[in-house]
Amino acid sequence: MPYLNDINERIPDKRYTQVTCAIAFWVFSFVYLFFYQAEVLAAGQHVLSGGRTYYHRFIGAFLITLTLYLLQLAVVRLVPIYKRGHALTYFPSLLILTIITDFSPSSDKVHTIGGWWIAIPILAIIYGAVLWVLRQIEPFEPETASRGLMSRTTWVNLLTMCVMFMAVGIFSNGDEAFHYRMKMEQLINKDKYDEALKIGRRSSATDPSLTMLRAYALSASGLLGERFFHYPVAEGLEELVADSISMQSILIPDSVIKEKAGAPRAKADYRLMNLLLQKDLNTFTSLVTRVYPDSLMPKHYAEALVFHHYYSGQPMKDSLDIITETDFHDFMKKEKEHHGIVTQNQLRKTFGNTYWYYHKYVGNERK
C-alpha cells in the first residue's frame, strides 16, 4: 500500500530492527519469568536472603526484564551494532537470565552456579571477539531491497533472538519435579493442601523431596493411607521425612515437617507408610490392625493386607473390604494375561494407583 510504503521510507530500517528485537525480548523475558520460572526465583531469593525477603511474581518479572533491557541498551551504546548482528547485543542479558533461572540448591541449601564459573569467562571472550568482527564488517553490509518488518535484516535478527531464547530454555532449570516442589511448598505454607496436591498429579515426574511433600500434604489432609500411591513414588525411598540429603524442603523448614509428622495420628501413618515403602508387610500387618479397626481401614492399608494374606497363605479376614479383594484378583488375573514390559504398562493404566503395583513394579527390589 502506498501509505505504508511511504512510512517505511521515512523510518530507518535499523529502527524497525531495534523495536522488533526489543518487543520480542520483553515478551519472552516477562512471560518466561512470570509463568515458568517464578517458583524457581522465589526459591532462589528465599535461600539467598535467608528467608527474610519474598519474591513477587509480577514485580520480579517486570524489574528483572527492565534491568536486563537496560543492560542491552548499555551494550548497544558501547558497541553500536544495528544491522544483522543487532540481536547479539541481547546476549549478555539473556545469559544473565539463564544463570539466575538455573537455580538449584545443594544438599545444604546453599546456591551455587555450578559450571557457569567456567562458562562465563569463555563466553565473554568469544562474545567480545564476535562483537569486534561485527563492528568491522557492518559498514560493508549491503542495504537490503525490502524495508521494515519484511526486511531480511529484521528476520535475521528475529531468528537469532529465537535461537537465544531456545538456549535460555535449554540451559536454565527445567527440572519438572523441582518446579512442582516449589509450587507445592508455596501452597503448603498457605495451608492450601488441596491445591498443593493438584500440582503435577498427572505427571510421572518425581523425586524423593516431591514425594515427601506430597506425603506431608496428604497427612495434613488425613489422606496419607488413602491416596499416597495415587502419585508416582521415587524409587528406593524408604522414609518420608526430610533427611537433608536425598530429601529436603526449601521454603518449609525441615523441623516443621518433622514436628507435624511426629503428631500422634500422623506418626502412626508415617510409620505404616514407611513399612509399605520398605515392603516389610510382616511388621506392617502386626501394627496396622492395632492402629485401625478393619471397618476404618484406609485404601492402601487394606490393599497391603490383601496382598500379604494372598502371598503368605494366611486366612483373609472377613471384615476386609470385599471390593478391595475383588480388585486384587483382577490385578492378578491381568498380570497373568500379559508378559514382561507389556504387563507393567497394562497394569499401570488400571492399577498404577494401588499398593500392589508399587510393591511389584516400583523400587530397587522387585517382588
DSSP symbols for 48-105 = HTTT-S---HHHHHHHHHHHHHHHHHHHHHHS---STTGGGGGHHHHHHHHHHT---B
Of the listed ranges 3-7, 39-43, 50-54, 252-256, the least confidently predicted one is: 3-7
Q: In which band, very low, low, confident or very high, does the pLDDT at 112 lie, cut at 50, 70 and 90?
A: low
User: C-alpha cell of 25?
Assistant: 525480548
pLDDT of the residue at 341: 66
CA atoms 70, 75, 77, 82: torsion sign: negative
Q: How many CB atoms lie within 10 A of CB 256?
A: 14
d(CA 24, CA 136): 26
pLDDT of the residue at 336: 81
Find, among 312, 240, 307, the residue nearest to 274 by Cα.
240
pLDDT of the residue at 149: 59
pLDDT of the residue at 36: 95
Q: In which band, very low, low, confident or very high, does the pLDDT at 7 lie, cut at 50, 70 and 90?
A: very low
Mean pLDDT over all residues of the chain? 85
DSSP H helical ranges for 88-239? 91-100, 116-137, 152-171, 176-189, 193-196, 208-220, 224-227
pLDDT of the residue at 339: 67
Q: In which band, very low, low, confident or very high, does the pLDDT at 359 lie, cut at 50, 70 and 90?
A: very high
Whether the pLDDT of residue 278 is over 70: the answer is: yes
Average pLDDT, stretch 198-216? 93
Q: In which band, very low, low, confident or very high, does the pLDDT at 4 lie, cut at 50, 70 and 90?
A: very low
pLDDT in tens, 298-348: 999 999 999 998 887 776 665 567 888 889 999 988 888 766 666 778 888
pLDDT in tens, 56-102: 999 999 999 999 999 999 999 999 988 889 999 999 999 999 999 99
Share of the chain above pLDDT 90, in %: 54
